[in-house]
Structure 1
Amino acid sequence: MRGLICGPKLAACGIVLSMWGVVMLGLLGIFFTTHSAVLIEDVPLTEEDTFKDLNPPQRAYDVYQKVGYNCFIAAAMYVVCGLFSWCQMRLNKKKEYLVQ
């Protein structure tokens, strides 16, 4: 069958992992864009961002925003992978139907 790349078990695994990735990265993106203090250790701040700036919170908030946007982009990539896995699952079911 044309376009069939992976089997049904791998496609199902891809769907489950994609759903988890979208939920996890979506929540992280929300928490980073709202400047959650718990995630401060995960923000790549430099000394310039904290000590040598006249308005240090604004620079830290900008870095938080960038990390949050990166999380949203990664979640979108997981959506694409999930759609690919879903298409593979449909092709596997179609192949099953045609063989019988």
Structure 2
Amino acid sequence: MRGLICGPKLAACGIVLSSWGVIMLAMLGIFFSTHSAVLIEDVPVSEDIFHDENPDRIYALYNKVGYNCFIAAGIYILFAAFSCCQMKLNKQKEYLVH
């Protein structure tokens, strides 16, 4: 069968993992975009930014990290689509064999 790369168990595992990745990264992207104070340790800031009275530089870093999370969630969506296609091809192969 053309295009079949992985088996049904690996395709199902890919669907589950990518679904969790999309949910987790989308939530992180939302929390970073809303400038959640709990996530300050995950923002790549230097010590001099904290002494600045204008928080716009920190907010820009929060937005940048949130944007990166949304990009990673998009990549996981592509991986989920690939896994779904592999699952469909495995079902077709199973149907043709029997």
TM bucket (normalised to shorter chain) is over 0.9
State the SS of the aligned residue for 1:45. Answer: coil
Q: How many correspondences in the alignment?
A: 98
Which residue among 72, 75, 93 is the counterpart of 1:77? Answer: 75
Q: Which residue of 2 aligns with 1:61?
A: 59
CA distance in 1, matches of 2:3, 2:48: 51
Which residues in structure 2 correspond to 1:34-53 (within 5 Å)?
A: 34-51=34-51, 53=52
Q: What is the aligned-residue RMSD (CA, Å)?
A: 0.9
Q: Percent identity?
A: 71
CA distance in 2, matches of 1:16, 1:61: 33
Q: Quick one: which amino acid aligns to residue 61 of structure 1?
A: Y
State the Cα distance separating 1:46 from its structure 2 match. Answer: 1.0
State the Cα distance separating 1:47 from its structure 2 match. Answer: 2.5
**Residues 54, 36 of structure 1: CA spacing in aligned structure 2 closer, same or farther, 3 A cutoff?**
closer
CA distance in 1, matches of 2:84, 2:48: 45
CA distance in 1, matches of 2:22, 2:5: 23
CA distance in 2, matches of 1:54, 1:28: 26
Q: Which residue of 2 aligns with 1:18?
A: 18
Q: Which residue of 1 aligns with 2:2?
A: 2
CA distance in 2, matches of 1:48, 1:63: 14
TM-score normalised per structure 1:
0.94
Deviations 1:41-63 (A, max 9, x none): 11110124223x452x1100000
TM-score normalised per structure 2:
0.96
State the Cα distance separating 1:77 from its structure 2 match. Answer: 0.2
Q: Which residue of 1 aligns with 2:88?
A: 90
